[in-house]
Amino acid sequence: MDFLPLFTDLKQRHCLVVGGGSVALRKARLLAKAGARVNVVALEIQAELTQLVSDSGGALFQQAYGAERLDNIFLVIAATDDRELNKQVSADCHARNIPVNVVDDPELCSFILPAIVDRSPLMIAISSGGASPVLARLIRSRLESSIPSAFGRLASLVGSFRDKVKNRFDDIEDRRDFWEQTLQGPIAEMVFAGKDQTAAEMLQQAIDKADVRPGGEVYLIGAGPGDPDLMTFKAMRLLQRADVVLYDRLVAPEIVELSRKDAERVYVGKARANHAVPQNDINQLLVDYALQGKKVARLKGGDPFIFGRGGEEIERLAELHIPFQVVPGITAAAGCASYSGIPLTHRDYAQSVRFVTGHLKDGSLNLPWGELVHPQQTVVFYMGLVGLPDICAQLIQHGRAEDTPIALIQQGTTQHQKVVTGTLGTMVSIIADNPVQAPTLIIVGEVVELREKLAWYEQGDLSKPIL
């Protein structure tokens, strides 16, 4: 994080704009809208800017800039086309510890101005840290179209009832639960429909009838194979509601960061022969947190019901009648295959696909090998890296040809993805010279041969046509 986002109260504070042109006018408008008293210093000043200064209660100095103009100033914006002058303003402000923004020159800034979505009192600021203001504005445009102006009225309604809710609920978590339910239910819909008075009456009734201690709930969330963009909308929504987040080793750090900043985060990852928290203890943690009235997100890599032990984790919850929701995720097989350009099924090569664990509960590889050697079937092995020599040998022994294509996909869908291809007969020696690390997915079948045609984008050659 290059800049810490802050919202500053500028009401009745004297702020200085250095410059008198159109850029200075835009910045001055922003300051005036926030309630600042706008002071301007420049040799030439537009008439509209002169009027704005007068209306804000600020002062106008039609003269060359001098450091004395910084006396009793809270914040400064340098908006001239003279970089040497801008550098001088920046240096003077830094010497006096006055926050300064130099338009289009992040190196000279101690703060930057974001693109803003104004739904007062709700404010949304978007910033690229000065790297790409155009990108920030594009994102603002998307948000503008997706966030109705009614959100401002909703925020005002909530603000008018904050004290009543605080008096009704002593515990901050109870208040948060109440507001989360309110802001996602019929009261909010009344505001969006323009029925603010009805919404206020409903909110008062909800406060009077509310349970002081809402029950806990568990969200079993499939986080997908790694790329945060593969999370579902429901997964994102529930993750950001959670008070506690229990997450696996295979969940990308970027996904964990999407949870609320005040949420408690508990690592319960498991690697081969190294379980940070035993599975039974994880099951009990879900119960314990839920019985405390907390909303618990259980983040699991891939899909929780495909080699994710999700069934075991909700079994105890069901016995105790603790509410839970299961959110499916894109399983590693689908995600890694897609990002590697390997279709799991293809009319000419594979009419079925089979998902198999390469690491049984007892550590053995006692699999139904005879069922896994059909020539028109794709087989995907989860957790099979350690057992790779055995997998290749058993498939060959049970009838698969040694030249059957095979792919190993390391850290699939992430920026660290690595794909190694070969055959059942050659793969063990290939990775001896080109090691791969867990987590790794193994795909066996003729569909692997299609990778050369379908994964051209990995090399960044955008000149080739899409097949």
CATH number of the domain that residue 453 is part of: 3.30.950.10
Per mean pLDDT, which range of 12-16, 133-137, 214-218, 381-385 is the poorest? 214-218
For residue 66, count other CB atoms closer than 10 A to its CB.
11
- Domain boundary pick from 183, 209, 235: 209
Residue 304 and residue 202 share a domain: no
What is the structure's pLDDT at 360?
63
- Domain boundary pick from 209, 228, 259: 209
Sheet holding 295-300, edge to edge: 264-267, 244-247, 295-300, 217-222, 324-327
The answer to whether residue 23 is domain-embedded is yes
Considering the candidates 248, 294, 295, 300, report the single residue annotated as catalytic: 248
CATH code (residue 304): 3.40.1010.10
CATH code (residue 96): 3.40.50.720
Residue 221 and residue 156 share a domain: no
Considering the candidates 270, 288, 390, 418, report the single residue annotated as catalytic: 270
159 known ligand binder? no
Whether the predicted pLDDT of 462 surpasses 50: no
Our answer to whether residue 270 is catalytic in this structure is: yes
Whether the predicted pLDDT of 86 surpasses 70: yes
Q: Which domain holds residue 308?
A: 217-330
Residue 348 and residue 451 share a domain: yes
Residue 285 and residue 188 share a domain: no
302 known ligand binder? yes
CA nearest neighbour of 22 among 70, 81, 63: 81
The answer to whether residue 269 is domain-embedded is yes
Residues of the chain with pLDDT > 90, as a percent, come to 72
- Over residues 189-199, mean pLDDT: 91
The answer to whether residue 128 is domain-embedded is no
256 vs 253: CA distance, rounded Å:
5
The answer to whether residue 70 is domain-embedded is yes
- Domain boundary pick from 287, 308, 330: 330
Residue 320 and residue 274 share a domain: yes
412 known ligand binder? yes
Residues of the chain with pLDDT > 70, as a percent, come to 94
The answer to whether residue 347 is domain-embedded is yes
Rounded alpha-carbon distances, angstroms, from residue 182 to 176, 190, 195? 10, 11, 15
Whether the predicted pLDDT of 450 surpasses 50: yes
- pLDDT tier at 67, thresholds 50, 70, 90: very high
225 known ligand binder? yes
Residue 223 and residue 200 share a domain: no
Domains: count for the chain = 4
The dihedral built from the CA positions of residue 228, 230, 233 and 237, taken in this order, carries a sign that is: negative
28 known ligand binder? no
What is the structure's pLDDT at 362?
59
The answer to whether residue 137 is domain-embedded is no
Residue 253 and residue 163 share a domain: no
What is the structure's pLDDT at 356?
94
383 known ligand binder? yes
For residue 404, count other CB atoms closer than 10 A to its CB.
20
pLDDT tens digits for range 248-294: 988 999 999 999 999 999 999 866 555 568 889 999 999 999 999 88
What is the structure's pLDDT at 241?
86
Residue 273 and residue 195 share a domain: no
Whether the predicted pLDDT of 457 surpasses 70: no
What is the structure's pLDDT at 174?
80
Kindly give the interhelix angle for 310-319 and 279-291, rounded to the nearest 10 degrees: 40
What is the structure's pLDDT at 456?
53
Contact 268, 309 (CB under 8 A): no
The answer to whether residue 120 is domain-embedded is no
70 vs 78: CA distance, rounded Å:
12
Strand-pairing partners, residue 324, are 218
Residue 306 and residue 367 share a domain: no
Residue 98 and residue 2 share a domain: yes
404 known ligand binder? no
Q: Judging by beta carbons within 10 Å of its beta carbon (0-12, 13-18, 19+), is residue 7 exposed, middle or buried?
A: exposed
pLDDT tens digits for range 393-432: 999 999 999 999 999 999 999 989 999 999 999 999 999 9
- pLDDT tier at 454, thresholds 50, 70, 90: confident
- pLDDT tier at 465, thresholds 50, 70, 90: very low
pLDDT tens digits for range 296-354: 999 999 999 998 889 989 898 999 999 999 999 999 999 999 999 999 999 999 999 99
Residue 8 and residue 97 share a domain: yes
Our answer to whether residue 33 is catalytic in this structure is: no
Residue 21 and residue 95 share a domain: yes
The answer to whether residue 443 is domain-embedded is yes
